[in-house]
Every structure is written in C-alpha cells, then in structure tokens.
C-alpha cells in the first residue's frame, strides 16, 4: 500500500466513523419514546398537558424580557426540590385555559406576570387576558392560585397587568392562595419582594397541601449527554436553529429572506454604517445603521429594534475559569419531560453556550447564592455563602454595591479557587438566557425604508466601589462600540474595556453583521400632519424623535401644499459635547420651514446652573398650553425614573396654573390624554 492508498483508506474510515456518529447523534436527538420523556403531545390544553405529564402543580409566566420567566422557573425548581411536588412550568402563551376550572382539587396554580406598555400584559399574554377578562362570574370557582407581579413603581400603572389579573380571576370566583406579591424594579427590590412573598407562599402551601419540607437539593430537569464531534447539527453559537448548516433558510421569489423575525428567529443584518456621536468626552454614544433589505422586515417610525448580543471574550474566559469548564466540550440536553423547554439551540458546545446563550454578566440575586451552597468548594466558603444568602443588608453591601457579576462574586468568595463541582446542568438551568436588548429606532420608515438606525449610549464606567478595579460594562453597547471601532479601522485593543468575537459562530457575522428583529410599538405620530406635536427627549431619549422629524421632512418633500402643525422638540444634554446629531437639526428646521423648533437644555455648562427639559417646558408654558389646547400630541422618551416623572410634574403644573384648577384635576386631564393616545411614553 502506498501513501495515497493509505490516505484514501484513512479518509474512508473517518467518513464511516463520522457517518456512524451522525446516526448516533440523530438517534439521540429524535428518540422520544425513551422512558424519561413524558408524553410529547402538542396540545394547547393546559389541563390535558398537565395530566399527560403526571404533574400536580402548575407554574405559568407572562414575561416580556425574561424576568418573570426567570422567577417562575426558580420558583418551580424550588417547589419541586423542597416539597417533591411534580411541577409543570410554562409560558402562558403556549396554552389555552378554557377548561382550567377542571384542574384537580389539589392542583394549585402560581402565576408570574410582568407589566408592559402602560399597565398592559406582555405581548404573549393577550389571549390569556382575553380569556380571564371574559370569564363569567363563578366560572373559575375551583381554581386556586397564587400570584406574583413584576413591575416598576416609576410607571403610573404599577404592576397593572398583575393587578388586572387578580381582579379578573377573583371576579370569576377563583381563590387567591397566600398574599398577592409585587416586585418593584423601580425601588430595585424585585428580588427582596420575591423572597418575602415566596417565604409566605411556601408556608401557606405547606399548610393547605400538607407538604413536607426537606433540604434543597439540585435535581436537573435535563439529561446532559456528551457528544464526540461537531457536525452540521451542532450549534456553535447560532442565534437560532435556522442558521445551522443542516437547515435551510426561507426565501421568497425575490430572493429575500422571509421571517417571521422575532424572539424565535432574528435576521442577520449587515451593519452598513457606524459612527461616534459624542465629541471630547470619556463617554461614547454610537450611531448604528442596519441594512434589512435582504429580509422582508418592515418597520414603522417609532418601533424598537432588538439587537442580539454575545458576551465579551474577557467575561467568557473568566466564567469558564471559575467553573473549570472545557469550552470545547460538546453536549446535548434532553428535557426530562415535554413540559420543559431547552432554553437555547442544542446540541452545542460549552464555549458557545457561555458566549452566546447565557447572561453571564450583570447583577446577581441573593437566591442564586442560596442555591450554590450545596456546591461550595469547602466549609469556609460554604459558611460565607450561607451568611450572604440569608442577610439582605450584607448581600447589598458585599455584592450588589460592588457591581459583581456571578464569576466576580464567586472568585472573590473563594479567593480565586475554582468552583469545579457546580454541574453544567445547574448553570444552564439557573443562569438566565442571554436576551436581546431593545433600542428606539432613530430613522424613519418613510425616508429609510430598508435601513434601520439606532442610537445607543455605551455603558462603561468605573466601578463605583473604591475597592474594585475596572469598569462596569454593558454587553450590547460595548459590542456596538467594538463594531464601530473595527469598521472604521480604529484601534480596539486598548480603547475597549472588553473585546468580542465579531465574526460570530461559523463566521455567520463576518463582515460586520448582527442578529436583529423589529418589535412593534404604539409610539406613533398623529396621522393628521396638521396636529401640533410636543416631543420631550433628553439624552438618548431623542432617538425616536430623530425618526419622527425625518418622517415629517420626507413627508413634506413628497406632498405639496401641506401645512404642518407646529412640531416642538425639548432636548437635553450635559453640554455641547454630548449634543446628539447636533449638525442635523438646523437642516431639518430649514426643510420644515418654521414648523419645527428645537429647545435645548444643558445641565453641565461651566458656571451655570443645571437646566433640564422640564425647566424649559415651564419657560415655554404659554406656548405649550396653547398647543395642548389645540389638540397637541405629547411624546416623552428616555429615562423612566427621574425625567419622565419630572416632565409629568411640569405638565401638571402648567395645566394647574393656566386653567386655574386643582392639581388633582390637572393630573386627571393628563391621565385622560394618556388613555386617548395623546400622551405617549417610550421610557426605559
């Protein structure tokens, strides 16, 4: 046998080996008659699915960005491991509830509901809302439920969705078990609110369901299986299974990729233009333009763009080190029953899961410390964990105030020792799935039909705690800045606090691309161009208003003899250096021929007092009042906490004074404007 023959033979053996392995992998993926898999029906009937899977407790969540989902899963997990209940946990969107009143008497339901928009249910819960709001009196009289709402008290309709759910369910005769819990993001107490509510709820459940409590022990919901080699079925970080080499994307006759593009599948959009918007400051704000012409994505001015990030290499490496993980390990996850969903594309590699699928940076909860006690590397560390997980004040000082993420905190506690005994299953199940971030679109669909602009301020600041080195960094905004620097051929090595793999898995993102999808909003200009418009958007809050103004400019270019109503924009920045799109506004003014005016408040000019947008509103109160009287639409965008409230207060003041009415009545008028869509907020 000469060398060529040997080569051919080797190749043949390799090919057969891969082929056989493939079959094994395929078999593993597709076998669903295994004993560990419960019934796999696609039914939407929640009672049927519960029965088929032999469960005796139901946890449901209605979540927009995953917080409620995260709490629901933790709750379900803890119920199962402390009380040996058979808990089914699912997204409210997946089920119909017509016969929920037929649940067995000893099966209770716990709901986690977050609030969006203005006291609204999350997108996925619309059907559920329809159902409970129409349920007739007494029709849910056997249903026993507990309820935890997630909201933010800076919003007017605090926990609006959960409160509505409570009222509807009670009106239909259902019984609330324990207290109604409300988590408040605004006060930053969601975690503590949850812990308190959970403690009480567990006590009530123990009593009502006669449960025995035992020590919490982690029991995986998945069987984890190692695989030998990467083939076309293995995700190496693709944002959804559609982008695996083994799958085909859908195109229409115009060779345009067809969606739907949403949380289950993004479009891989080329980043066609990026630039820095700030000058001479140590902060950064990035303008990014995405080309969506290769897709059937349509957006409307005022919508949001979801950007799917990946984790920074520094964070990935540190995480792998803390848990002593091998990034090259290939694994598959198989749910123990059909009610459990695998949280990300699998089979995959540990490196891909850590980089693309898990939210490894960001604040951590006291709860996870409690769950980690069982895996502490030694007795000392175990004691420290127990102390911190049971003392909220100490946790706030030692962990939260120092902006530690999970890896930082654990390394600090163990003084650099790895936590090698934490099972991968635990990490995959406990750490939330990396979520896309939303940005207010700053272009207009009328002037930029197939290009979407966003305006994002980069989260990168020195750790406020003096004994921690380094900057606190946001995942997505630093990724956008990394792209901006690389695309414009600028140095990234020293100027970036963190770095990214910009090429993505299997070079999917090479040449500057990012996974995105559009989320519809209700933030819309009035359809009649003659209607006056008041816009208030300091900082990045100006983003959608750039879109609005460009929309009006384009509109005027297309139509003749149209009289635009007055459009007035209150903008605020620290000084001239962070004045966003400073050179564009005069141009828009000129083109809109007097119909557009911009009023600017600067808060940090040398030797001057702080001026905010709400101060400028007061200065212009006659004009603002006249515009409101003439049917103006009012828009507020940006910071939810201080700004939106400050602006609201100013407007109430103006109405109070100019109409000579009581403050309460003025607030009532604003409320009415809100309900009729004449007062719209896009705040975060």
Ligand X SMILES: *[C@@H]1O[C@H](CO)[C@@H](O)[C@H](O)[C@H]1NC(C)=O
Ligand Y SMILES: NC(=O)c1ccc[n+]([C@@H]2O[C@H](COP(=O)([O-])OP(=O)(O)OC[C@H]3O[C@@H](n4cnc5c(N)ncnc54)[C@H](OP(=O)(O)O)[C@@H]3O)[C@@H](O)[C@H]2O)c1
Ligand Z SMILES: Cc1cc2nc3c(=O)[nH]c(=O)nc-3n(C[C@H](O)[C@H](O)[C@H](O)COP(=O)(O)OP(=O)(O)OC[C@H]3O[C@@H](n4cnc5c(N)ncnc54)[C@H](O)[C@@H]3O)c2cc1C
Q: Which stretch binds ligand Y (CB under 6 A): 433-441, 589-597, 621-629, 640-648?
A: 640-648
Compute CA distances 41 → 45, 103, 197, 323, 333, whole Å.
10, 18, 34, 37, 19
The answer to whether the bond into 605 is cis (omega within 30° of 0) is no
Please tell me whether residue 501 binds ligand X under the rule CB under 6 A: yes
Q: Which of residues 651-670 bind ligand Z (CB under 6 A)?
A: none
Cα(172)–Cα(121) distance, integer angstroms: 19
572 binds ligand Y (CB under 6 A): yes
**Using CB under 6 A, which of 351, 474, 532, 646 touches ligand Z?**
474
Tokens 């895996």, residue located: 375
Between CA 73 and CA 95 the distance in angstroms is: 17
Degrees to nearest 5, angle at CA 404 with 401 and 409: 120
According to CB under 6 A, which one of 63, 440, 444, 482 is a site residue for ligand Z?
440
Pick what 456 binds: ligand FMN, ligand Y, ligand Z, none; C-beta below 5 to 8 Å, kind-dependent.
Answer: ligand Z
From the list ligand FMN, ligand Y, ligand Z, none, which binds 194 (C-beta under 5 to 8 Å, kind-based)? none
Q: Which pairs count as long-range contacts for 9-12, CB under 8 Å and 24+ apart, including other chains? A: none
Name residue, tokens 């567990």: 202
Please identify, using beta-carbon distances, which residue of 155 and 633 lies nearer to ligand X: 155
d(CA 373, CA 74): 15
For residue 487 the two structure tokens come to 């695309």
User: What is the three-class DSSP state of 198?
Assistant: helix
Residue from the set 84, 133, 189, 300 that interacts with ligand X by CB under 6 A: 133
Cis peptide bond prior to 347, omega within 30° of 0: yes
Residue 158 is a binding residue for ligand FMN (CB under 6 A): yes
Is 140 part of any known ligand binding site? no
- Residue 67 in the binding site for ligand FMN (CB under 6 A): yes
For position 434 contacting ligand Z by CB under 6 A, the verdict is no
For ligand Y, which is the closer residue by CB, 221 or 440?
Answer: 440
Mark 605-634 with x for binding to ligand Y (rule: CB under 6 A) and - for no binding.
Answer: -----x-xxx--------------------
Please report whether residue 540 would count as binding ligand Y according to CB under 6 A: yes
Select the span of 379-387, 457-465, 531-539, 662-670 touching ligand X (CB under 6 A). Answer: 457-465
- The nearest distance, CB 541 to ligand Z, in angstroms, is 8
Q: Where are the alpha helices (DSSP H) in 540-620?
A: 543-558, 585-592, 613-619
- Residue 82, Cβ density class (10 Å: 0-12 exposed, 13-18 middle, ≥19 buried): middle
What does 603 bind: ligand FMN, ligand X, ligand Y, none (CB cut-off 5 to 8 Å by kind)? ligand Y
Q: Chain-centre distance of CA 423, in angstroms?
A: 26
Closest to 502 measured CA to CA, from 295, 235, 237: 237
Cα separation of 587 and 585, whole Å? Answer: 5
Site track for ligand Z across 543-562, x = CB under 6 A: x-------------------
From the list 41-49, 59-67, 222-230, 650-658, the region that binds ligand FMN by CB under 6 A is: 59-67
Residues whose CB falls within 8 Å of the CB of residue 649, separated by 6 or more in sequence, listed in order: 614
Q: Which residue has the tokens 């009143």?
A: 101
User: Is residue 110 a contact residue for ligand FMN (CB under 6 A)?
Assistant: no
Residue 392 binding partner per list ligand Y, ligand Z, ligand X, none, with a CB distance cut-off of 5 to 8 Å that depends on partner kind: none
Residue 424 vs residues 326, 329, 404: alpha-carbon distances, Å: 11, 11, 21
Binding span for ligand Y by CB under 6 A among 273-281, 339-347, 572-580, 652-660: 572-580
Binding residues with ligand FMN: total (CB under 6 A): 24
The angle formed by the CA atoms of residues 615, 616 and 622, to the nearest 5 degrees, is: 110
| DSSP assignment letter at 120 | B
**Rounded to whole angstroms, how far apart are CA atoms 112 and 92?**
9
**282 touches ligand X (CB under 6 A):** yes
Cα 487 to Cα 26, 270, 482, 491, 492: the distances in Å are 40, 12, 8, 10, 10
With CB under 5 to 8 Å by kind, the binding choice for 405 among ligand Z, ligand Y, ligand X, none is ligand Z
Which token pair is 641? 């906490």
The piece of 18-26, 137-145, 265-273, 402-410 that touches ligand Z (CB under 6 A) is: 402-410
Binding part of the chain for ligand X, among 136-144, 180-188, 252-260, 406-414 by CB under 6 A, reads 180-188
Q: Is the dihedral of CA 270, 272, 278, 282 positive or negative?
A: positive
Cβ count within 10 A of residue 601? 18
For the window 114-143, what string marks contact with ligand FMN as x by the rule CB under 6 A? xxxxxx--x---------------------
| Binder of ligand X out of 220, 259, 327, 526 (CB under 6 A) | 327
The window from 30-38, 129-137, 224-232, 293-301 that contacts ligand X (CB under 6 A) reads 129-137
585 is in an annotated binding site: no
Strand partners, 249: none
Q: How much is the CA Rg of the chain, to the nearest whole Å?
A: 27
Q: 308, 277, 263, 265: which is closest to 290 by C-alpha?
A: 308
**CA–CA separation, 249 and 463 (whole Å):** 43
| Whether 266 contacts 515, CB under 8 Å | yes
Q: Output DSSP code: residue 45.
A: B
Pattern 517-546, ligand Z, x by CB under 6 A: -----------------------x--x---
SS3 508: coil
Collapsed DSSP state (helix, strand, coil) of residue 307 = strand
* Residue placing its CB nearer to ligand Z in the complex, 146 or 288: 288
> Is 646 annotated as belonging to a binding site?
no
Annotated binding site for FAD: 437-440, 455-457, 474-477, 684
Annotated binding site for FMN: 63-68, 114-117, 150-159, 185
Q: Give residues in contact with ligand Z (CB under 6 A).
A: 304, 309, 361-363, 403-405, 437-440, 455-457, 459, 472-477, 540, 543, 684
Q: Give residues in contact with ligand FMN (CB under 6 A).
A: 63-68, 114-119, 122, 150-152, 155, 157-160, 185, 190, 684
Q: Give residues in contact with ligand Y (CB under 6 A).
A: 457, 538-540, 572-574, 578, 603-604, 610, 612-614, 639, 641-643, 646, 684
Q: Give residues in contact with ligand X (CB under 6 A).
A: 129-130, 133-134, 152, 154, 185-186, 188, 282-283, 313, 316, 327, 351, 355, 460-462, 471, 497, 501, 640-641, 684
Annotated binding site: 63-68, 114-117, 150-159, 185, 283, 437-440, 455-457, 474-477, 540, 603-604, 610-614, 684
């Amino acid at each position: 046998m000469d060398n060529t023959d040997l080569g051919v033979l080797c190749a043949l053996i390799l090919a057969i080996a891969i082929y056989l392995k493939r079959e094994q992998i395929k078999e593993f993926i597709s076998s669903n008659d295994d004993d560990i898999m419960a019934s796999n029906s696609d039914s939407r009937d929640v009672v049927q699915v519960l029965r088929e899977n032999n469960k005796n407790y139901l946890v449901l969540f209605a979540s927009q960005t995953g917080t409620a989902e995260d709490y629901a899963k933790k709750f379900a997990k803890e119920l199962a491991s402390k009380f040996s209940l058979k808990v089914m946990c699912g997204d409210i969107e997946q089920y119909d509830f017509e016969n929920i009143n037929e649940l067995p008497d000893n099966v209770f339901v716990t709901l986690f509901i977050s609030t969006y928009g203005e006291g609204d249910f999350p997108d996925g819960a619309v059907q559920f809302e329809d159902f409970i709001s129409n349920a007739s009196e007494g029709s849910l009289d056997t249903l026993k439920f507990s309820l935890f709402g997630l909201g933010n008290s800076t919003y007017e309709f605090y926990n609006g969705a959960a409160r509505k759910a409570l009222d509807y369910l009670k009106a239909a005769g259902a019984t609330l078990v324990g207290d109604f819990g409300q988590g408040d993001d605004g006060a930053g107490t969601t975690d503590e609110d949850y812990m308190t509510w959970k403690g009480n709820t567990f006590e009530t459940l123990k009593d009502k369901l006669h449960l025995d409590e035992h020590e919490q022990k982690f029991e995986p919901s998945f069987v984890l299986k190692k695989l030998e080699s990467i083939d076309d079925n293995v995700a190496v970080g693709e944002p959804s299974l559609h982008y695996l080499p083994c799958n085909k994307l859908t195109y229409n006759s115009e060779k345009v990729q067809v969606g739907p593009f949403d949380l289950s599948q993004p479009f891989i959009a080329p980043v066609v233009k990026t630039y820095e918007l700030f000058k001479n400051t140590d902060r950064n704000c990035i303008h990014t333009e995405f080309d969506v012409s290769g897709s059937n994505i349509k957006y409307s001015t005022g919508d949001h763009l979801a950007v799917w990030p990946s984790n920074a290499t520094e964070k990935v490496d540190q995480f792998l080190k803390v848990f002593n993980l091998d990034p090259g390990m290939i694994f598959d996850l198989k749910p123990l029953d059909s009610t459990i969903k695998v949280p990300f594309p699998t089979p995959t590699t540990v490196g891909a899961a850590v980089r693309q699928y898990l939210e490894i940076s960001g604040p951590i909860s006291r709860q996870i410390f409690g769950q980690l006690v069982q895996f502490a590397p030694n007795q000392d560390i175990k004691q420290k964990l127990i102390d911190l997980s049971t003392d909220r004040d100490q946790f706030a000082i030692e962990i939260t105030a120092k902006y530690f993420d999970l890896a930082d905190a654990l390394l600090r506690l163990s003084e650099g020792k790895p936590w090698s005994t934490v099972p991968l299953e635990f990490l995959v199940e406990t750490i939330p799935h990396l979520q896309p971030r939303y940005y207010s679109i700053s272009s207009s669909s009328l002037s930029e039909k197939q290009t979407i602009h966003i305006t994002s301020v980069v989260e990168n600041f020195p750790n406020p705690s003096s004994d921690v080195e380094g900057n606190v960094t946001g995942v997505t905004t630093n990724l956008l800045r990394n792209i901006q620097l690389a695309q414009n051929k600028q140095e990234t090595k020293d100027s970036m606090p963190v770095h990214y793999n910009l090429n993505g898995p299997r070079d999917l993102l090479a040449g500057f691309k990012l996974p995105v999808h559009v989320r519809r909003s209700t933030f819309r200009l009035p359809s009649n161009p003659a209607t006056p418009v008041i816009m208030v958007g300091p900082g990045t809050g100006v983003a959608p208003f750039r879109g609005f103004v460009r929309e009006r400019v384009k509109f005027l270019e297309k139509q003749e003899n149209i009289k635009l109503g007055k459009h007035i924009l209150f903008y605020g920045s620290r000084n001239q250096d962070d004045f966003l799109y400073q050179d564009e506004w005069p141009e828009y003014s000129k083109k809109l021929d007097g119909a557009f005016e911009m009023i600017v408040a600067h808060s940090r000019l040398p030797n001057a007092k702080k001026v905010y947008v709400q101060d400028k509103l007061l200065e212009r109160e006659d004009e603002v009042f006249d515009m409101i009287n003439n049917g103006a639409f009012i828009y507020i965008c940006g910071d939810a906490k201080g700004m939106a409230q400050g602006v609201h207060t100013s407007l109430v003041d103006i109405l109070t004074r100019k109409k000579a009415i009581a403050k309460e009545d003025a607030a009532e008028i604003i409320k009415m404007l809100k309900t009729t869509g004449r007062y719209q907020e896009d705040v975060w």
